[in-house]
Amino acid sequence: MGTVIENNAVFGLPNLEVFSATLQDLASADRDIIVVTSDSRGSGKLVPFAQKYPKQLVEIGIAEQNLVGVAAGLASAGKKTFAVSPACFLTARSFEQIKNDIAYSDNPVKLIGISAGVSYGALGSTHHSLHDYAALRPVNNIMLVAPADNYETRQSITLAADLAHPVYIRFGKKAMPHLPNPKGHAFAFGKGRVIKEGNDLTLIATGETVYPALQAAEKLQQEKQLQAAVISMHTIKPLDYDLIAAYAANRSPIITVEEHSVYGGLGEACASFLLENGFRNPFKIIGIPDEYTVTGSQTEIMNHYGISEEGIAAVALSLL
């Protein structure tokens, strides 16, 4: 896999390309791996998969509800089914099918939401998936995952292939840096990864927001001699409550960061746990506010709403 060095960070591939490569590796040894798409093989980086394994890909067309229904049927027959579609449409148009055909029926479909968050940029609010965590968190029997880098992506897809229960995994479009792993912990669903250690405050981020959180932590260290912990909370449900509690114990500020509405996502899940368990840390959710997003690229939109090195650092200083 190619790498690029930018601002001292080593960048790999977009997570979607790692997803596709991992799926190809798995399919080469397992004919039960089936991909179902809604006219998404191009945007999902699945053209190479379709060329290599044409009998293991089902094209539904732009019919997301049918996509989920077909995927559920295949999974019920023992296939390891990956249903791939833009996150905004997969989780909104197909919500009832996800709730009933997959979660309630316990069909172990791997729902893959592509171009998530504000990845579609200037296509606007109709194409942004800022609701998916909030929509799916209350649904029983489905795990929610947002990998932060190529390592987390490969691990999540490899583990998901053999899961006996449903999972939703979301991906953006950008090339992602290889994140540090100072504690050397292996990837596991439901267990956050400590990307940087620190005692002055804690940044809990998910998906593509982990890197700007790490940038903010490094900025605070260089400019203010503050040590901020950074956690990649790749699994939004179930949350790693033990890890949150461990970092909340010193009563330092906690900031959550997500490419999602401030309502119903990672931040509110963390806030609920902390409040219910007696923690009173200064706390702030960084995400997309309750408005239709400004027009721009993914980076421009995230910068506008403070999901950036400067924005996160500024919020940290205000809490401190």
Distance between CA 125 and CA 118 in Å, rounded? 8
pLDDT at 74 over 70: yes
Distance between CA 187 and CA 184 in Å, rounded? 9
Residue 86 is predicted with a pLDDT of 96
Cβ 320 vs Cβ 202: under 8 Å: no
**What is the DSSP secondary structure assignment for residue 100, as one 8-state letter?**
I
Average pLDDT of span 272-287: 97
Task: Please give the mean pLDDT across all residues of the chain.
Answer: 95
Domain boundaries, the chain: 4-176, 181-319
Assigned superfamily of 4-176:
Thiamin diphosphate (ThDP)-binding fold, Pyr/PP domains (3.40.50.970)
pLDDT at 1 over 50: no
pLDDT-derived band at 186 (thresholds 50, 70, 90) equals: confident
Top mean-pLDDT range of 69-73, 120-124, 172-176: 69-73
Average pLDDT of span 288-298: 95
Residue 183 is predicted with a pLDDT of 80
Burial class of 183 by CB neighbour count within 10 A (0 to 12, 13 to 18, 19+): exposed
Closest CA to 147 of 118, 178, 169: 169
Residue 182 is predicted with a pLDDT of 83
Amino acid at 299: T
Q: Give this prediction's pTM.
A: 0.95
Closest CA to 256 of 197, 315, 215: 315
Closest CA to 235 of 163, 167, 165: 167
Closest CA to 220 of 205, 202, 242: 202
Higher per-residue pLDDT: 183 or 63: 63
Task: Name which CATH class applies to 181-319.
Answer: alpha beta
Average pLDDT of span 204-209: 98
Phi then psi for 32, rounded to 5 degrees? Answer: -80, -10
Average pLDDT of span 170-186: 89
Angle CA(193)–CA(137)–CA(169) in degrees, nearest 5? 55
pLDDT at 184 over 90: no
Share of the chain above pLDDT 70, in %: 97
**What is the DSSP secondary structure assignment for residue 147, as one 8-state letter?**
-
Q: What is the pLDDT of residues 238-278, one digit of tens each?
A: 999 999 999 999 999 999 999 999 999 999 999 999 999 99
Q: What is the pLDDT of residues 85-109, one digit of tens each?
A: 999 999 999 999 999 999 999 999 9
Residue 8 is predicted with a pLDDT of 54
Cβ neighbors of 25 (< 8 A, separation 6 or more) are: none
Cβ 48 vs Cβ 76: under 8 Å: no
Residue 9 is predicted with a pLDDT of 65
Element (H, E) at 265: none
pLDDT-derived band at 2 (thresholds 50, 70, 90) equals: low
Q: What is the pLDDT of residues 116-151, one digit of tens each?
A: 999 999 999 999 999 999 999 999 999 999 999 999
Q: Are 4-176 and 181-319 equal in CATH topology?
A: yes
Number of other residues whose CB lies within 10 A of the CB of residue 305? 18
